[in-house]
Structure 1
Amino acid sequence: MEKSKKSYTRSSKMGLGRLIPALFASSSLGLCALDAITYEVHGDLINFSKVGFNNNPINPVKGLYPTGTFVELTGKLESTMHLGKGWSVSIGGALGGMPYDGTRYDRYSKNLIQDAASTKITQGQYAGKTYLEVWEQQKNSCGGKWGCGSILNGGKYANTGTPGGIADPRGIGYMFMGEWNGLFPNYYPAYAYSPGQSRPYEVYKANIQYKSDKVWMILGRYDTTQVEDIDWFYQLTQGFYGLFKLHSKVKLQVFSSWGRGIADGQWMFPIYREKPWGEHKIGLIYQVNKHFSIHPHVWFSPQVFTAPEVKFHYDTNPEFAGSGFRSQTTFYAMYVYQWKNDYVPGIGHVGRYGLARYNTWDTWGLYNGVANNVNAPTGFNANAPWCGKGYNPWCGLQGPGGATLLFKQRFDINNHNTSFGIYLNIGNPNPNIGTYGNPVAIDGVEQWTGSIYGLGFASINNITAADAVTVYWKGGGVYGNFDWELAERFTHAPRTTAQALALYLNYQFGKHVKAGIKLEWFYAGINAGYNPGVGFLSSYGQPFNMTTGVFSSGSFAQNYANVGGVGKTVWQDRSHLMTHISYSF
């Protein structure tokens, strides 16, 4: 130890070049006189299944799509080596597969062509014509473009819309198991969705960590659910996490992410480039007393968004262990500013002038026939020419942002609990934050429960839609190794109205095996002007434009073009059964 101190002193006289190596070898971070090295190994084998009760055939004209049924298997193995003095190194990998993908067997409606011939388009440049008229007109419009094909003549990139025929023998189950969207320098490359590009495997942990009573740092790939107060990001990342104790009541938090992924049994997303220049967070955690904390901070992604937020949390009984009474009150207030200077060379607009991401804005439906004046010289936005003439400046675009307010209340009485909450969007704050990690999910309010052919691809529901309000209630109990929960949710937005009621049952069998089941009744209506099938893709991953009948790569890369909308509100049953069983060691 004394030798380390002398090395540090000499280096401080020799310049920064020798100071930094000496610092990391000094006793101040505990690298000298290490304790005995120990290690641990953990693993999981997970089976997850979803059975959708709505098996309607695909009919884009009517806006009808099945919910989706699939079975997944995931194996995870990780090891952590404890070097002593707070230092550790971890590495972990996952491998998955989908024994059954129901989308490979989903069929077109037997009435597809008949309905296309008798139904008129109600919006855009083809308004007044029947779908079949325009489909016939556009069926040869691809001109050999990669990934482009028509529903009428099929071809290399799209299967012919044969009434009663299978829509896509390849299936789109890769959106749950193996979807990969590129890592730097790539960014959502269109080829990532072509056959053979999915990756149901990943190295999800590869990090070095230091933790003491004053400092906690992680560098590399790690699981954000295992650190403190990363509420808007799920699950895996690569980058840096730091938590520094500045005072007995104040900690500084720094989070810098340069990739995001998932490996939780339901999803397998190898870590990919979520934002052009990463996503980051910096803030303070002020523990006023053992009951009350305040967490002011800011999330930001250069050229995309900046989101200042404050979180308040009050806990009447932090030491609660299943006996007595506990009340927890949490409030989030976030304002999301979408950048004006949002053009990234080689990528395009990624902030307020970017096309509506995850369709959370859906403005081509909401403001049908109303133009924007973003491109003042021509009177319309070249990225969204379908909007016509009018006054809305954000038709089809992400827009300037907005605010999100979330209030959560939970009560525990011995082994029983009840909770409720309200999630409110003012404007469109969630195209870039809230869709891939959200505090309501921490409270068990699931976001990804719709049709696999629906919003954002892979079944996101409308909690994070523009101008959406969601209220929910939950109640449950714990009885030894068994727990249950009943949850109800109601969501209303310009795009949709939805209601769900779910029952969760879980049981822990000994140390290693856990099993559970969820049965959910879920009913949702998509309003006129919106498209219930924005995630209906060709075998090469291109979205279907119900207005033109073309699967086009021009509508791809997570930034949707106008893919049409239904002429009247469409109500569909999204009820489903989910099961899981896992073996862990």
Structure 2
Amino acid sequence: MKNSVPLKNKVFCGLYVLSLSASMQAFDYKIEVLAESFSKVGFNKKKIDIARGIYPTETFVTAVGQGNIYADFLSKGLKDQGHVLEGKVGGTIGGVAYDSTKFNQGGSVIYNYIGYWDGYLGGKRALLDGTSIHECALGSDGKVIDSIACGNARANKIRRNYLMNNAFLEYRYKDIFTAKGGRYQSNAPYMSSYTQGFEISVKIKDKNEGSHKLWWFSSWGRAFAYGEWIYDFYSPRTVIKNGHTLNYGIHLVDYTYERKGVSVSPFFQFSPGTYYSPGVAVGYDSNPNFNGVGFRSETKAYILLPVHAPLKRDTYRYAVKAGTAGQSLLIRQRFDYNEFNFGGAFYKVWKNANAYIGTTGNPLGIDFWTNSVYDIGQALSHVVTADAVSGWVFGGGV
């Protein structure tokens, strides 16, 4: 965090649930409506001085609303046999109630939080005709002069403050098989927020009280639909082939073994033409069935070993060249006692390990997009930059 205090004011103005059943009790649905406000207050009020690299920290307030329709498609008889088929359709809309950056040199940059959308494959802003935009001046040749103010005005022109973030079907059979596809909230460690794709998992138990889970996850789009961020679906990783921008997706295969609170999860995540990353997560949970009563100790460690594709190695990512490969180590400890929790974490990055994988999601357990919006990567914290060493403590309660 850099001279700022983010205040997540989750103001649930309404959470209305309506459940109606068909005459044969084979179809149930409910409607959910919620509202959220996010505030970030920056205490650094310095005027922009590009030559000296001086920038302020932004202050802004948002108002965001979301509505969803959840449906349960199966009869009670099928559900009693362990079958579940459900889905959800919903969207999010929001806006900015206050924006301190609109008074700064270059104009408003809060589109980086709310509404930025450069098209699914990128490049939409560059194609926008700037001749009709007040902030875009014309040169002697009649062409638009590429300035910071013009670039920000273009980005604000194509803002999209709404999206359909939920549109999925999910089938489950007991605790054995799961298949899910569409647009939904991702739970992949290195691919957070909303995803557009599918996942399949199979889980079996052995004679020694252990469980084995094999999970495949594929995504061809990412989106944000929260109080702090609204981005419509876009391709987080693309490649250029024969002059065309292509999205080969982000894919993950993960095997997890669990027994008596101990877990080991070797995994391989990759985006063809961009990166290929083996890794492993190991953990210990002293009370896997913890429900807010009693004591729990949870330890988790992640090792990530990304290798970048040859055509990406000379690309600069967050002001540092991506390079051939990198590594990262995260060790996280959390203690729970009844409804209170506290803990700490250590995080080490070697080279530019997060050039392509660690910023589309990261199991740090903290919000690492809390820097100034004027810094590298749209408020990206330096905790994930090249060769960074970080540690933090936390505490809270329900």
Same fold (TM over 0.5): yes
| 1:315 aligned residue (285, 291, 296) | 285
The answer as to 2:114 corresponding to 1:174 is no
Cross-structure match for 1:96: 94
Cross-structure match for 1:198: 159
The answer as to 2:219 corresponding to 1:257 is yes
- Given that 1:409 and 1:419 are in contact with CA atoms closer than 8 Å, whether structure 2 keeps it comes out as yes
The answer as to 2:362 corresponding to 1:401 is no
Distance 1:413 1:237 in 2: 33
Distance 1:263 1:180 in 2: 13
- Given that 2:125 and 2:158 are in contact with CA atoms closer than 8 Å, whether structure 1 keeps it comes out as no
Distance change >3 Å, CA 63–CA 45, structure 1 → 2: same
Aligned positions of 1:407-418 closer than 5 A: 407-418=331-342
Cross-structure match for 1:542: none
- Given that 1:334 and 1:404 are in contact with CA atoms closer than 8 Å, whether structure 2 keeps it comes out as yes
Distance 1:86 1:320 in 2: 25
Aligned positions of 1:290-309 closer than 5 A: 290-309=260-279
| 1:333 aligned residue (278, 303, 307) | 303
Specify the code of the residue in structure 1 equivalent to 2:333.
Q
Displacement after TM superposition at 1:290 (Å): 3.1
The answer as to 2:53 corresponding to 1:63 is yes
For the pair shown, which has the larger CA radius of gyration, 1 or 2? 1
Distance 1:99 1:259 in 2: 28
Displacement after TM superposition at 1:95 (Å): 0.7
- Given that 1:331 and 1:406 are in contact with CA atoms closer than 8 Å, whether structure 2 keeps it comes out as yes
Distance 2:62 2:347 in 1: 31
Aligned positions of 1:106-117 closer than 5 A: 106=104
Distance 1:432 1:59 in 2: 30
Q: CA RMSD in A?
A: 1.8
Runs of at least 5 residues in structure 2 that lack an aligned partner in the other structure: 1-23, 75-82, 129-150, 239-247
The answer as to 2:313 corresponding to 1:352 is yes
- Given that 2:330 and 2:347 are in contact with CA atoms closer than 8 Å, whether structure 1 keeps it comes out as yes
* 1:392-450 residue CA offsets vs partner (Å, 9 max, x unmatched): xxxxx31112101000111223343321111111111101111131111xx2x221111
3-state SS of the aligned residue for 1:322? coil
Distance 1:259 1:326 in 2: 36
Cross-structure match for 2:189: 231
- Given that 1:88 and 1:208 are in contact with CA atoms closer than 8 Å, whether structure 2 keeps it comes out as yes
Distance 1:415 1:72 in 2: 29
- Given that 1:304 and 1:352 are in contact with CA atoms closer than 8 Å, whether structure 2 keeps it comes out as no
Cross-structure match for 1:48: 38
Q: TM-score, normalised by structure 2?
A: 0.79
The answer as to 2:356 corresponding to 1:432 is yes
Distance 1:334 1:290 in 2: 25
Distance change >3 Å, CA 102–CA 467, structure 1 → 2: same
Distance 1:37 1:254 in 2: 29
Cross-structure match for 2:103: 105
Cross-structure match for 2:120: 183
Distance change >3 Å, CA 337–CA 474, structure 1 → 2: same
3-state SS of the aligned residue for 2:381? coil
3-state SS of the aligned residue for 1:446? coil
Specify the code of the residue in structure 2 equivalent to 1:97.
G
* 1:204-233 residue CA offsets vs partner (Å, 9 max, x unmatched): 0111111122211111111114xxxx1112
- Given that 1:246 and 1:252 are in contact with CA atoms closer than 8 Å, whether structure 2 keeps it comes out as no
Distance change >3 Å, CA 179–CA 251, structure 1 → 2: same
Displacement after TM superposition at 1:99 (Å): 1.9
Cross-structure match for 1:518: none
Distance 2:387 2:90 in 1: 40
The answer as to 2:393 corresponding to 1:469 is no
Cross-structure match for 2:369: 448
Ranked by relative contact order (alpha carbons within 8 Å, sequence separation 6 or more), the top structure is 1
Runs of at least 5 residues in structure 1 that lack an aligned partner in the other structure: 1-33, 107-166, 343-350, 362-396, 484-585
Displacement after TM superposition at 1:282 (Å): 0.6
Specify the code of the residue in structure 1 equivalent to 2:102.
R
3-state SS of the aligned residue for 1:190? helix
